[in-house]
Each structure stands twice: as structure tokens, then as C-alpha cells.
Structure 1
């Protein structure tokens, strides 16, 4: 029998979440962000599941785009980080990809290229993230260079929000104001909002939105935000109890003996560890769903196993199913108990955890 650890991916949930993004910004096209293997959910399968709905897909780099093209996906694809060397423009041209331009080096490569097909460009402005993008005062001049280039089909103006997941929307509003002022005289459509921007109260006028983490059912706004109820979890990380033992008061569990039994304790061992992608830093008390009942982690997470408290669940037996996050346990809640975020949980699921799909 195979090791029971696996991740169940509900593709209908992803379709639902994409529809929610569109509903929240009904006048915008939505670029479904499926970089990083669709945040660990499987880029090809997610791409195929959304191909009939998605206005476009967003990936980080050329390699991710080519994987989609090779699988037969024909939707427009945007390289969010653009190109890293000029030779990549040959594949951009051949596979009709859209590219972000965020540096002068990328701009020069594009202007000097010999392309068979005009390319669609997303011109990135730095409105306060200070990671990539042209300064506000440089953006109009860069746009003019692109607009005058015969190899450019269209230009979309883009920026990225740094703090749209915060309850205080003032910084996001500053970014929107900065962006609007810088592009006021540029006759081009705009793309501003990531998932947090879509779900935030700070709204922006935009022709394109870029839903990412929300596609997979986790709100970047926190589990107490109203957006949590809008989304359906797409990944259920699952395993099973494969050993049970009883320990007396005073016994310690796991590496370092972090958890000390303060009562006679029934301990379940689960086939799931940090080599599967479950966070090693999950604290005692991190919630775990065991065959219809909520339990908790006790003891440090090991490479291949973790231990849960079954003291109040005497009916649980070896072989019973366990959900580490998903429908019954929020990934955001697990992340909160592990000093991390849901993004790292999803993208951290390792290759030894098979992905199984429903609602293809």
C-alpha cells in the first residue's frame, strides 16, 4: 500500500474562485496567476481547468510559459518578470507570449529585437513596492519609446501593491494616486490589483486584474476578513494515522521533548512531515482534522512524521484519515501557527506528495 500522504486538488474550487475575482471587478479582464506550478497546485492541470474561463495566464518566467504551451494551452500568457536574456525573445515571438518590461535592459533588448510578430507589453511602474519597475517620472518617456516601436502591438501600464493586504488602505491609496498621476497623460489600459488589491476596500480603475493566491482559496487578508467566506479551498493536504500509542503523565514527545504529557495521553502518528512540505515550525496546538474531529499537533514536526493528540478521541484508529489543511482546517490558520503564510505552505508541498484531482 502506498504512503497515504497526498494533496487533493478541487479544480471546481479554482474555477469558483476565478469567477469571484471577475465578479469583484466586472469591468476588468483577469489574468489568472499560475506561476510556481500554480502555487503548488499543478500549473498544467490548473491551466487546462481554467482555459475556457481565463482571459490570460500569468507566470514568472519563460520556462513556466513553455510548459503551458507544450501542454496545449493556447490562452494569452504574460511573463510577469519579463525576460532575463535577449535570446528569450525568440521563444516569446514563436509562442506569442506577452512580456513585462520593468528595467532599461529589458527595454533595450526589446527595442533592438527582430520579431516576426508584434508583442504585447506590460510596462511596469514602481509606485512604492521598490522591487521592479520604472520610476514614476520615467514611465511616460519609456511608454513613448514602446509606442513608437513597430514591433510593439499594445502596451498595458502595470504596477504592484506592497501592502494591500493590510486593513489600513492608506499606503495602497498612495500607490494608486502615484500611479494615476504618473500615467494621467498616457492613453493605455492599466493593471494594478493582485489578490489583495481585488479583495481590498481600496479600489482602482483598471482594465486588468491579477488574481493569484485567491484562486487557490486562501485570502491574503486574514481569516477574519469577509473575503474568506467568498473563496473555496482548492488544496486538501491529507494523510492518515499509521500508529497509536498511550503515554503516561510526564513523558515527552518528539525531537527535543518539546511537548510534555500533562495527563495520560493517546498519541497518533501521522505520515506527514517537513520533507512533504508541512511546516517544521508548527507549534503545539496547531489544528489538525482527524476523521471528522478537530485535534492538535503535539511535539515537533519531524521530516516524515508528526504527532497528534487523540486523548479525547478514543474511537480514532490506525488508518483513519487526516487533513492537515483544506476544507476543515484553513491553510491561513496553519500558517498563523507556523509563523508563515499560506503562499509558502502551498508552494512548499514537495514532489513526493502526489497531487490528485477532482472535478477535472
Structure 2
């Protein structure tokens, strides 16, 4: 549960309270939806902006046999390994050159092989080690996720390339574990036909190489697949945005799936101005006061990562006089400040403000803010800047 923060302990004008118990709860919700699958917790991009070391450590306490982490790059994998000492980390982008592949093989990280040129790098690396009897031949077991393109048309090899590479991987003398993977493009909108087509393509690829489902893994579902496509759970699911309390489903918010907000972005009222009818507020004079009104100035802006394009009317929650009020933005977001309409709200300078998350027994879903800004909660979380102080609870 989020607790109140003592103003004297907060030396920043805006802060983010990170609820580690909530991220653990959300991981358990993923387990609830996919009880027969292992879970690969996606903590790339600094755990979606939440702080990767703290989030990874909290999630590791929820792991069962076969669970693991996923990051985008080798540098991210190093960071998690240095923090936790775990090697069960999947590098989603795979190696970008021979030097990265050498390090990955030496450390024993899991990695995604998504293109034939990466298979060529692996062949060269293995051949070099055998020919020279170099120390590098003492590799950790190979743990490779082979990514195929089933309709996303991003990373993933063609059906023909996969049919050529998979048997070669199976024939390697090194101890090797293989997982077939792909990625949904539209799992968040189940009515669209593409996801069903991708699922069929994925299973057909497995059949093409007579994949042994008892020995080899299969992974297709990220958060949306976990929630909406139980027939696509297979042996491993990859929860991402749902871990942080936001819904991946179009038009839905996290609470609909029993998810709890992890990040609560907060600031406080800096001052309150009395503005006359006919006056304008903010840059561009885009907000016109229809009556005399009180305008509150909040100490957060796009320099902190709050979206600049949040339109007038976007809500914030203000804790004033022991009660919680919803106030709408009035005028453009500035670098360091935003302004809100305080009509009917007995607020005073210093009162706390919630931009998204939860506080004082109420929630303001990040998805609601994202919808108004024509973006997604993923972006809101990831763009919080270093000027915001993070408080882990």
C-alpha cells in the first residue's frame, strides 16, 4: 500500500512512489492468468522507467523454477546481472556483432536468434573455438530463443530460414536448450484477425520441424496474449506492461484485470492565482477563462516527463483539506509547471497532487492520461526524467 510521504523527506519538486509489493502482486496476476506457463518478466528500458535493479530484485522473490527476466540489450543484461547475480536473463535483441555474441556465450545469458546472419556468427564462433582449442570453447550451455516472423514483420526470421536453422541448432554437440518464439502484433485487439493468423502460423512452424514440446520451449504471448489469448500461452509467457499495473488491452485499464499501479507520480501546488474572466492562461494563450477563477500552478512539467501534449481537461487528483478532488488542466504544459482549474476545490500551496497512479485511497490510471494524450502508458512510464525523485516502498 502507498504510504504518505513526509514533505521534509522529499527534496524534489516532483517524485514517483514505486510500490514494490504492487509489482509482485501483478506478477502473481500474470501467474493467475497463465497458471501452466513459466514467466519471463520483461524489465527492459529500466523496467519501463520504474528502476530495473529494484524491480528485478522484488520480482525475483516471486520466481519459480524456469522463470526468468527479459531485457532488450546486452548492456541491460549486464546491469541486472551485476545487481542480482542471476544469469537467467533473455536478451531480446540478441547480439549485434561477434564481440557481443562472444560475451553472451561466455556469460551464459539467454539470447534471441532472429536473423540468419546471427546464425552465421554462431557458426563462426563455434568453429573458431574448435579449430583453435581456445578457452572460449568452454562455453556455458547454449540457451537460444529462435524468433520467427508470424506476421509482425519486425524481428523474426522467415519460415524457410527457420526450417533451415532449427535442425542445425538441434544437431549441435554443445548442451543446448531451444525455445521457439514470436510476437503478437494485435493481441490487444482480439477482434482483429491478425492475431489468430499469427497463432496458426506459429503452430505450423513448430509442426514443420517436428518441435518436441516436452523438451523445447514455445513462447508467443506477452501481456495482451496472457490476458486475451489463453490458447497461446504455451510453455513460456512474457509479461511486460501488466507488471507495472497498466492494461495492454485497447480501451481497458489495469484495475479491470486486478492489476495495481506501481508508479504514483506526484508533485505539489506551488501557488494559486486569481484570474479574471476573459484572461488567458499559459503559453500560446490557448486557455480562455470564462469566469473569474482560481488557477493552481503545479511543480511538474515536460522537463520531468509529464506529457507536453496533455490537453486542457486532463485530470489530476489534489489532496486538499483531508479530501481528494479531481482538477482539470487549464492551458499548455510547460517545462517545469502545469496549471489546473481549482474551481470548487479548497486547495492551498503545498497540497500534494497525483498525476497518475494511486494515492489517498483513490486511483488515477495512467491509461486514462495516455488516452487523452493520444499515447500509451508505456511511453508515460519510460519518459520520466532524472529530475523526478524515485521513492521505493
The two structures have a TM-score, normalised by structure 2, of 0.88
State the match for 2:105 in structure 1: 93
1:17-37: CA deviations, max 9, x gaps? Answer: 111111111111100000000
Separation of aligned partners in 1, 2:255 and 2:245: 10
Name which of 337, 343, 368 aligns with 1:333.
Answer: 368
Separation of aligned partners in 1, 2:341 and 2:274: 10
Spell out the pairing of 1:253-272 with structure 2 (5 A cutoff): 253-272=281-300
TM-superposed deviation, 1:231: 0.5
Spell out the pairing of 1:147-296 with structure 2 (5 A cutoff): 147-151=170-174, 153-184=176-207, 185-187=210-212, 188-201=216-229, 203-224=231-252, 228-291=256-319, 292-296=324-328
State the match for 2:153 in structure 1: 130
Separation of aligned partners in 1, 2:106 and 2:200: 38
TM-superposed deviation, 1:213: 0.4
Conserved in 2, the CA contact under 8 Å of 1:172 and 1:202?
no
Answer with 263-272 or 82-91: which moved more: 82-91
Cα RMSD after superposing both structures: 1.5
Distance change (3 Å), C-alpha of 1:352 and 1:151? farther
For the pair shown, the structure with the greater C-alpha radius of gyration is 2
State the match for 1:72 in structure 2: 84
State the match for 1:11 in structure 2: 20
Q: Secondary structure of the equivalent of 2:84?
A: coil
1:125-170: CA deviations, max 9, x gaps? Answer: 0000000111123322211111112335111000000000114152
Conserved in 2, the CA contact under 8 Å of 1:287 and 1:297?
yes
Conserved in 2, the CA contact under 8 Å of 1:268 and 1:310?
yes
Separation of aligned partners in 2, 1:334 and 1:301: 13
Gaps of 5+ in 2: 1-7, 130-136
Does 1:309 pair with 2:341? yes
Separation of aligned partners in 2, 1:322 and 1:239: 5
Name which of 341, 349, 374 aligns with 1:318.
Answer: 349
State the match for 1:48 in structure 2: 57
Distance change (3 Å), C-alpha of 1:152 and 1:279? farther
State the match for 1:299 in structure 2: 331
Distance change (3 Å), C-alpha of 1:32 and 1:16? same
Conserved in 1, the CA contact under 8 Å of 2:42 and 2:238?
yes
Separation of aligned partners in 2, 1:172 and 1:346: 26
Q: Secondary structure of the equivalent of 1:203?
A: helix
1:159-203: CA deviations, max 9, x gaps? Answer: 000000114152111100011111112223200001111111463
TM-superposed deviation, 1:51: 1.1
Does 1:23 pair with 2:32? yes
TM-superposed deviation, 1:109: 1.1
Q: Secondary structure of the equivalent of 2:164?
A: helix
1:203-257: CA deviations, max 9, x gaps? Answer: 3151100000000000011454686341000000000001111101011000001
The two structures have a TM-score, normalised by structure 1, of 0.96
Separation of aligned partners in 1, 2:37 and 2:297: 48
TM-superposed deviation, 1:95: 2.5
Separation of aligned partners in 2, 1:270 and 1:244: 9
Conserved in 2, the CA contact under 8 Å of 1:221 and 1:227?
no
Residue correspondences, number: 357
Separation of aligned partners in 1, 2:22 and 2:355: 18
Name which of 362, 377, 389 aligns with 1:342.
Answer: 377
Separation of aligned partners in 2, 1:205 and 1:9: 29
Separation of aligned partners in 2, 1:225 and 1:266: 31
Separation of aligned partners in 1, 2:190 and 2:371: 17
TM-superposed deviation, 1:104: 1.1
TM-superposed deviation, 1:56: 0.3
Q: Secondary structure of the equivalent of 2:232?
A: coil
Moved >6 Å (runs of 4+): none
